[in-house]
A and B are shown apart, each in its own frame.
With several copies, the nearest count.
Chain A
Amino acid sequence: MKTFAAAALLCLLFPVSVLRAQSSPQPSIPQPLSAQAASPQPSALSPSASQASQSDLAKLDQRVTAAQSSADNAWMLVSAALVLMMTGPGLALFYGGLVRQKNTLAIMMQSFALMALITILWALVGYSLCFGEGTPIIGGFSHVLLRGVGVDPNADYGGTIPQLTFMVYQLMFAIITPALITGATAERMKFSGTVMFMSLWFLFVYAPLAHMVWGKGGLLNATLGGTFPTLDFAGGTVVHITSGVSALVCALYLGKRQGYPKEPMPPHSLVLSFMGACMLWVGWFGFNAGSALASNGLATSAFVATHFAAAAATIGWLVAEWTTRGRPSALGAISGAVAGLVAITPASGFVTPMPALVIGLVAGVGCFLMVTWVKSLFGYDDALDAFGVHGAGGTMGALLTGVFATRSVQAVFHDAQGRALPVGWIDGNIGQIGYQIVGIGMAWAFALVGTIVLLKITDLVVGVRASEEQEIEGLDLTEHGEEAYNLEM
C-alpha cells in the first residue's frame, strides 16, 4: 500500500512540472483546433471568373480533406467511446455477475480503477512506448507526456484523423486488456496487488506487444515494415492472447479459491453478466470496425464479420451444450458470443462474411470444450475463464486469420508493381500461417515470462493473495469497505 501511495503521490505531483511545456502553444497544434470546421465556411469560389482557377480548386481540395477528416473522426470518436463502454460497464458487469455476491464490487472496481490508472500511465509514457519511434520491440520516449500529439494526423496511424483521436482510441484498448485478466484472479487477489501488477504488466507486456504488432517498424508489423508480418487487425494477439495467457499464469500462481472446486460458486447474477455481454457485443463494433481507423468500406466489412462471428459462436456453443448437457443455457449463449468476438478480432479486417461465420463456429465450440473439459481436466482455477475464452479464442482466431485472410477485403501485401498479393491460405499464401504462428508464439512467450516475473515482484512488494479470512468474508467488505447490495431497509 505504501508503494501505491507513493505512486499516487507521483501522480499528484507530476503535472505541475509539465504544465509549462503544455501551456505555450504546442508546435503540433499550430492552428486553433476550432478553425477546422465549426463554422460555415465561405465558398471556395471566386465569384467573378467563369473559368475555375487552380487556387479555387486548392481551397476546395482543403475543404474536401476537412470533410473526409470529419467523417472519419466522427466514427473514430464513437468507436473510442464504444471501446471504453466495453470495459465499463461491459466487462465489469460481465465479470461482476459471474462472481459471488460478496466479491461483486471488488471485481467491478478493478475494471474501473484500470480505466483511470491506465489512462494516467498512457498519458505519461504508455502511448509513446506503444507508438513512439523506437526499436522493433518497443517504442521510444518521443511522445512522452503526449508531446507532439495534436490534431494533425499522423500519416502512419490513421492519416485522416487527428493523432489525438488515434491516441485516445488506442488508449481504450490498453485499458481493457489488463481488465480482462482480472477474470482469472477474481475473488482472491488483493486490490493493491492488482493495481501494482497491472501497472507493471501494462508497461512491460502490453506496450511491447502493441508496438511489435501495430507500431511502425515493429517486429511483427504486417504493413509498416516488420520482419515477421503477422496479421492482427484489432488485437487477437495483442489484446486477447496476452491477457488470456497471463490470466492462466495468474490463476496458477495464485492457486485455487478457498473451497474450489468442492463448494458451489454459482454466478451471483446472470442478469448482470447478460447485460455485460450485450454491451461487449455492441462495443466490439467500435473495437473491430473502429480498427479501420476510418469510416470506410473496410470498417463496414469488419463490422459485419464481427457480428457474424458472434452470432455463429453463440450457435456453436449452444448446440454443443444442448447436445452434451441436454439444455442450452443463457450463460452458454453469452459465453459463446464473447468467444466468437474474441476469435474474429484479429481476422475482422481481412475476411469476408462467410468465413467469419466459420471462425465464429469454431471458436464457439472450441471455447466450450476449453471451459468445460480442458479446465476440469487440468484443474486450475481460472475463476471466470479468462484463459478459456480469451487465451484460447484469441489463439484460434489468430491462426484462422492466416487461413481466411483475403486481398479482396484488404490488400495487405503488394508486389513491386503495386499489384495485390495473396494474403491468407485460402487466398493462396499458405506461408502466412507460419507468420501467424510466430506472432502467436511471441505473444504467448511474452505473456508467460512477463507475467511470472511481474507477479513475483508484486508478491514481494505488496503481496498478491488476499488472506483466508478476507476471502471468506468477501473482498467487497474487507478490501473496499462496502457491500454491493443493502436491500433490507
Chain B
Amino acid sequence: MKLIKAIVRPNKVDDVKEALGRVSLSGMTVTEVRGHGKQKGHTAIYRGKEYDVSLLPKMEIEVVVADNMVDDAVAAIIQAARTGEIGDGRVFVIPVEQSYRIRTGERSEL
C-alpha cells in the first residue's frame, strides 16, 4: 500500500477527483496548503511595508492505494492536474505499512 501525496493548483482538485474516480479510486483526503518552488510569488504592500507573498495557495491531495494501483493513480493525477505552466506541483509516493477503517475497526487492504 502507498500514500500518494499530490500537491496541485487549487482549481484542479475537482478534475483530479474525477480522474481518480475514473480509475475507481474514490477515497481521498484534501488539505489547503501553501507552496513554494520555482513559481514566482508576489509582493504585498501594507502602508508602505513590503511583504513577500512567496507561499502560494495549493491543495494537497492524499490518496492511499493498493500497490498495484499506484501507477494508474499517479498517471491520472498528473494528467488531470497539468497545465504545463510553472507551479503545477508534485506527486510523491510514500510507503504505508498498515491501514484501518475506523467504522469497522478492521485492518483493510483498501
Contact = CB atoms under 8 A, between A and B. Distances in A.
Chain A–chain B contact at Cβ < 8 A: yes
Contacts of B56: 473
A371 interface: yes
Nearest to A329: B45
A62 interface: no
A372 B51 contact: no
B49 A483 contact: no
A261 B48 CA distance: 12
A328 to B, nearest CB: 10
Nearest to B10: A489
B45 A327 contact: yes
Contacts of A376: 48-49
Interface string A398-411: 00000000000000
Most buried by A among B32, B48, B56: B48
Interface in B5-54: 10-11, 14, 32, 42-49, 51-53
Given A489-B10, A489-B11, A335 B49 contact: no
B48 A373 contact: yes
B63 interface: no
Contacts of B10: 488-489
Contacts of B53: 477, 483
A478 interface: yes
A138 to B, nearest CB: 37
B81 interface: no
Interface stretch (A153-161, A198-206, A263-271, A412-420): A263-271
B44 A477 contact: yes
A266 B59 contact: no
Contacts of A472: 11
Contacts of A327: 45
Contacts of A373: 48
A325 B45 contact: yes
B59 A488 contact: yes
Interface string A257-281: 0010101101100000000000000
Interface string A364-394: 0000000111011000000001000000000
Contact of B11 (A263, A325, A329, A332): A263
A482 B46 contact: yes
Q: Is the interface of B mostly helix, strand, loop or mixed?
A: strand
B48 to A, nearest CB: 3
Interface residues of A, number: 27
B30 to A, nearest CB: 9
B81 to A, nearest CB: 14
Contacts of A335: 47
Contacts of B45: 325, 327, 329, 481-482
Contacts of B48: 325, 371-373, 375-376
A117 B57 CA distance: 34
B14 A488 contact: no
Nearest to A369: B48
B86 to A, nearest CB: 11
A164 interface: no
A331 interface: yes
Given A481-B42, A483-B53, A488-B59, A264 B47 contact: no
Q: 9 tightest A-B contacts by CB?
A: A372-B48, A477-B42, A481-B45, A264-B51, A371-B47, A481-B44, A488-B32, A266-B46, A482-B44
Given A371-B48, A375-B48, 20 more contacts: A259-B11, A261-B49, A264-B14, A264-B52, A266-B44, A325-B48, A327-B45, A335-B47, A371-B47, A373-B48, A385-B47, A473-B42, A473-B56, A481-B43, A482-B44, A483-B44, A488-B10, A488-B59, A489-B10, A489-B11
28 contacts: A261-B49, A263-B14, A264-B14, A264-B51, A264-B52, A266-B51, A267-B46, A325-B45, A327-B45, A329-B45, A329-B46, A331-B47, A332-B47, A371-B47, A372-B47, A375-B48, A376-B48, A472-B11, A473-B42, A481-B45, A482-B45, A482-B46, A483-B44, A483-B53, A488-B32, A488-B59, A489-B10, A489-B11
